[in-house]
Amino acid sequence: MHISLDTNVWIFGIVAGDPWCKTILFNLAQFRVTLADQVRVELERNLSPLHMRQFYHFVLRDHVVIDAESVPIDAVHSFEHKGLKKGDAVIGAFCEWRNLDILVSDNRHFLRELSPDHEFVVMSPQHFCETFELS
């Protein structure tokens, strides 16, 4: 299963201690995880140096790939036309471009407002944990 985690899953798991997000972070080794560089950029903007060290601990421990290649601009525009703002459009386009199976996100724009014509599944952290019986 090839997955990606939206920025908010990392923030809620590392900083806020959300139980669903923490469960995902402690079970990353069960999945093939690839992140858009956009996620790393957003995390560096929003997390303290201590929290960024925790992020990189998970990345290194569980062999999470941070893909620094630029997402094709046409794909980003396609997701903007589906109703996502710029940063979210990059993440959505990345998931489709890299043929990921699942994007885990607590972002209401991904969960409720993204039109359904995309190749990957969007799951909330709780739904993801329940689906894959993570504890």
Six-digit token string for 41: 């950029």
- Tens-digit pLDDT profile for residues 81-115: 888 888 899 999 999 999 999 999 998 766 566 66
DSSP letter string over 73-129? HHHHHHHHHTT--HHHHHHHHHHHHTT-SEEE---HIIIIIS-S-SSSEEE-HHHHH
- Tens-digit pLDDT profile for residues 35-91: 999 999 999 999 999 999 999 999 999 999 999 999 999 999 999 988 888 889 999
Q: How many percent of the chain have pLDDT more than 90? A: 81
pTM for the model stands at 0.93
- Tens-digit pLDDT profile for residues 111-132: 566 666 678 999 999 999 999 9
Domains of the chain with CATH codes? 2-131 (3.40.50.1010)
Angle (nearest 5°) at CA 39 between 6 and 30: 55
DSSP letter string over 97-109? HTT-SEEE---HI
Provide the pLDDT for residue 83: 83
